[in-house]
Amino acid sequence: MQRALVLFNIESGSENQVLKNVKKVEGVEEAYISYGVYDLAVKVRADSMDALKDIISNRLRQIKKVRSTISLLLIEE
């Protein structure tokens, strides 16, 4: 199982709409509006690294009003 935290910068005033769209994406476990440098914090899960990359690159980053993202891969030991 592969997991990542994805931090979003989005267009001002679009937080609720982007959050609603993010929550519709398969593989999103948790999603929250945040205050500070990043506007949303999202936890994503997938069966493989390729599937995780697909979710982040082809689904989450393509949502309208998303300016940029930073992905943090989570490793369990």
Is 77's pLDDT higher than 80?
A: no
Query: What per-residue confidence (pLDDT) applies to 48?
Result: 95
Q: Which domain holds residue 17?
A: 2-74
User: Tens digit of pLDDT for each residue in 21-42?
Assistant: 999 999 999 999 999 999 999 9
CATH number at residue 62: 3.30.70.920
Q: In what order do the strands lie in the sheet with 28-33?
A: 28-33, 40-46, 2-10, 66-74
Give the pTM.
0.93
Q: How many domains does the chain have?
A: 1
d(CA 29, CA 43): 5
Q: How confident is the model at residue 17 (pLDDT cuts 50, 70, 90)?
A: very high
Q: Which two tokens stand for residue 59?
A: 């689904």
DSSP state of 15: H
